[in-house]
Structure formats: C-alpha cells, structure tokens
Amino acid sequence: MVRAVVTKAYEIDPLQDVRWPQFLEARPMATLFHSKEWLDGLQRTYGYRASVLTTSGPGEPLTNGLVFCRVRSWLTGRRLVSVPFSDHCTPLIDSEEEFGCLLSRLRQEADRGREKYLEIRSIAGTAGMPPDLSGPTAFCLHRLDLRPSLNELFHAFHESCIRRKIACAQRQGVTYEDGASEELLHKFYQLAILTRRRHKIPPQPLSWFRNLIACLGERVKIRLASHEGQPAAAILTIRYKSSMTYKYGCSDLRFHRLGSMQLLMWKAIQEAKENGLLEFDMGRTDWSNEGLLTFKDRWGAARSTLQYLRHPAAKPHSRIEDIPTRIAKRFFAWAPDSLLSSAGSILYRHIG
C-alpha cells in the first residue's frame, strides 16, 4: 500500500477544539504536558497561548498533533517551544512524513527572522520520529513501572538509601498529610522558597501552583511531611490518565536525615498503585547531576533519554555569558523571601 504524501498542516486551539481531549485519550504517548489543563495553566500564569499543528483538516477526526507555544519576551526574545516548563512533549505522530510536514511549518515561521529558534522536547526513540533526530541538549527521564506488586516494588528500592530512610521517617514520628488546600499550598511554597534559595534561583510564581490546582482539580496533590509540627519536605504530584507525575519537590535541610522525602515518594507510589496507575514519572534530570540521577536510580526507575531539538542549532556557550548569571545567583542567595518570590513572578514568563 502506498502512503499518501502529507503536504498541509492546520493550526488549531487545543483549549477550544473539542477534538483535542478526545484525541489524547486515544494516544498512549499523550502525557500531562499535552493536556488541555496543563496548557490552560501555562496561559493563565504566563500568557503563553498554545497551538496544535495537525495534518487533519477542519471537521476531520484528529490523527496527529504537535503542540507548541509562542513565547513572546522583550527580555529573552521570541521563540516557539513545545512546550514551556514541560519535561517532555513528544509530537503525537505515526510517521516521519507527518513529522516532516509539521516541523517544516514551524521551521518556516522560525526562519522568517522574528523567532530566535524553535525547540521540540521529545522522548528519544518515539515511533514516527526520524531515527537520526538529534539536538544540542539531552536529559535523562526516570519512569517507574507500577505493574509489579507493591511488595515487589518496595523490595526493589535501595535498602539503605530508600527503605531504611522510609523506616526512619516512620520511627522518628514524621507525619504525613496531603491535599490541595490553601494552607498546604502555603507550607509547600515556603519550602519551595527555601529550596530555590539553596540553588540560588527564584521560585516559580505562587500563581502557577494555584492555577495548576484550579485547572487540574483533584488530580493535583500536595504531599507534606512534618516533624514536631515543622514542615520538613513537600512534593507536588499530578495524575493524568494511567500515570502519576512527580513534578516539584522541596525540603528543609534540617530534616533531611529523617527520610522525609523518601516517605513522601513512597506515599505517592502507594497511592498510584492503589488507584491502578501504571507509571510513576519522576521527571527529567540533567546528565551532569549525578546525585539526583543516583537518587532516582535507587527507586528502581528506568532511564530513557529526552532529546531537545532546536532550530537553528544553539550557539556555543560563552564564559562571558556566565557573568550576569553569577551576579544574579549571589543576589538570589541573600534576597529576602518577598523579594525572591517577586523576582520569580517577574522573570519566569521570560524563561519558558
């Protein structure tokens, strides 16, 4: 059978087109980051308007889609990103011909000179993607298969760094609570400020987390561990289809020895398993971050590669460009909480 040549791409609004959620339900590779709710949260918080390119014409059932946002910033420039603040957003396609058609449309827009670049964040080896697709940036993605029994999952964890830490947290009286209340959000955000300060970067806007809760409802859960009434660690997880995504984590260094973070991760995995989910997505990690890579490995999660394709290719990094970054990090390390939070509210819309 001769495959028809794909020559035309159509642009649709995933927040308005009723075909988009229906299409995602039928696509195994569709993730949280393709969802209408995630894209709505991005628009509410940062003003990014999402679009989808497809070869399916108006009124036809969708058979493919590449979702992206047009980032408009006077500070960092204009660009096309699929998708900002998302670990991955693989084009949902079935053939290289489909991808070529959709990519060509985006390249044309980028090449007109108004856009600095386009970036596609894909899980390497996905069906329909060209096997030689490569880009300047790659990350590691950890995903835990939840199909084994809960007992099998637990005994696959690293004995001293995970299982004993969970037992330590329980023995030391670390308490657990979850939900999406304003009180929990406030405690989570205070820990987020502490953590981002350690990393010398501002926290995401508080409005981002509020909008995620508003858009995704009960699928968003803040999980908080406390010790003697003091917040020790928190994570934010989001459930979508058959997967739970660990998206944000934060903690107070004073309580690290208690195993608070390990307890929270175990609670999330238990809940995901009890709800019949099939996967726990632990998110992306820079290949140079050996500590975080090892931490995720110790849960028995499998590694895969995230390949970020950029057109035109990124320019070689200059050490001179690091000078403003070093100055900013010194400021973020010592700025008051209120100023650090305000900096995040101002800057993040320029980063995506």
Average pLDDT over residues 133-138: 68
Distance, CA of 27 to CA of 282 (rounded, Å): 21
Distance, CA of 331 to CA of 340 (rounded, Å): 9
Average pLDDT over residues 151-165: 98
Q: Give the pLDDT confidence of 236-249 residue by residue, as tens digits.
A: 999 999 999 999 99
Q: Which of the residue ranges 77-86, 107-116, 169-178, 278-287 would you say has the lowest mean pLDDT?
A: 107-116
Q: Which residues of 222-235 are buried (b: 16+ CB within 10 A; e: fewer)?
A: bbbbbbeeebbbbb
Same CATH topology for 10-133 and 142-301: the answer is: yes
> Would you list the DSSP string of 10-67?
EEE-TTT-THHHHHHHH-TT--GGGSHHHHHHHHHHH-PPEEEEESSPTTSPP--BEE
User: Collapsing DSSP states into helix, strand and coil, what is residue 309?
Assistant: strand
CATH class of 10-133: alpha beta
pLDDT of 331 reads 66
Peptide bond into 83 cis (omega under 30): yes
Distance, CA of 272 to CA of 278 (rounded, Å): 8
Q: Give the pLDDT confidence of 258-274 residue by residue, as tens digits.
A: 999 999 999 999 999 99
The better pLDDT of the pair 206, 132 is held by 206
Q: Give the pLDDT confidence of 101-127 residue by residue, as tens digits.
A: 999 899 888 888 778 889 999 987 666
Highest mean pLDDT among 96-100, 130-134, 313-317, 318-322: 96-100
User: Collapsing DSSP states into helix, strand and coil, what is residue 89?
Assistant: coil
Distance, CA of 155 to CA of 150 (rounded, Å): 9
Which of 261, 304, 311 has its CA nearest to residue 31?
A: 304
Q: Give the pLDDT confidence of 65-97 residue by residue, as tens digits.
A: 999 999 999 888 899 999 999 999 999 999 889
Residue 216 banded pLDDT, cuts 50, 70, 90: very high
Average pLDDT over residues 297-323: 75
Judged against a pLDDT cut of 50, whether residue 132 lies above it is answered with yes
Average pLDDT over residues 175-186: 98
Judged against a pLDDT cut of 70, whether residue 6 lies above it is answered with no
pLDDT of 336 reads 82
Q: Give the pLDDT confidence of 36-51 residue by residue, as tens digits.
A: 999 999 999 999 999 9
pTM of the model: 0.92
| 68 close to 82: Cβ distance less than 8 angstroms | yes
Average pLDDT over residues 312-316: 67
Alpha carbon 177 to its chain centroid, in Å, reads 23
pLDDT of 320 reads 37
CATH class of 142-301: alpha beta
Q: What is the arrangement of strands in the sheet containing 137-145, beginning at the earlier edge strand?
A: 10-12, 50-54, 66-71, 79-82, 117-123, 302-311, 137-145, 279-286, 243-251, 230-240, 220-227, 175-179
pLDDT of 321 reads 42
Residue 1 banded pLDDT, cuts 50, 70, 90: very low
Torsion of CA 141, 139, 349, 48, to 10 degrees: -60
pLDDT > 90: percent of the chain: 72
Domain map of the chain by residue range? 10-133, 142-301
pLDDT of 130 reads 64
pLDDT of 339 reads 85
pLDDT of 128 reads 60
